[in-house]
Structure 1
């Protein structure tokens, strides 16, 4: 199916996500930590000992497991495996769309981090090791566009609305869990993960619309999509 007409709500969504990221970037680029960030961040700490996460030990371990679902290496592994599968079933263009969206998106994430260079939260010990700056959240951004793109690729040829909503819902839920885990583990401010999700979803939706347009107007053998 050649879904090339962009519904008005998707234009609104794209604009809203971009404006949300810009607003959060302005907030994050201030000299002081916003009170909004600090309050939510400290609410997830043990009130008796702010160096520890709130809740039982097993919850902290669960958050460490969940945060791995936003790791670039884990995401790249899933994407390369799925891309090979797409090639094996004669869908090479879908494989290219998937890999280009993911690889370019991860490069954009790195460039944004280098551009803003916001320090990580330092008021408590980190629950996991970190190697890059804080804004935007790389886990939040990557999990947003990777899991959503995987869901869109998986439902590319189906008109089953329930199936599409289910996979997109799972992708968004996974993104929310990963993003929450980053704040819970003390490695990101809330504005970091909100910005990461906003720009990640923007990137996934933009690439999806470009791929649909390319399929309709430039792909001679549409069976390879």
Structure 2
């Protein structure tokens, strides 16, 4: 007979369904937003591996010669690891130096991007949802002639141009683009809170009016 669990006044729940409910709950992104990134986990594993090598080489032989040999070998390995990390950082910088255009050449509307963003959000695909919501913001600003349509515009350029036209929202635009960069380029894990913050920014910008030429409201 399958064991059951009893919760308050509700019906008893079998142990296997209860375990599945707990697993689904703990898999939600809100419980993992502070988890280390993939690159950070790799660095932690390398550090543990180096510590193990150090103790292995310095403990073998029981003499000064064995200890010095272990240190030399460890330094060589460390140099290789540092070179690999440096190459990785250089690769990230090169990618950051040439960000891709925020909007594709295909003609789309702001509502198209909002609908796509909501579908991604409903499926828990937060990086894609965040990107599409920022695209919705970009297209909406173009549609309302707050920024001129310009192929190849990057997210950072959007924040700078729109922030000039909408100075009251400049800081929020910069924060939204930083969120996008961290998630889409930096490998950070997106979540519902980040997406909702960008959606709220989208709503506020839709009601915003640009500063007229000359800066007089």
TM-score w.r.t. structure 1 length? 0.28
Higher CA-based Rg: 2
Which protein, 1 or 2, shows the higher relative CO under an 8 Å CA cutoff with sep ≥ 6? 1
TM-score, reference length from structure 2: 0.29
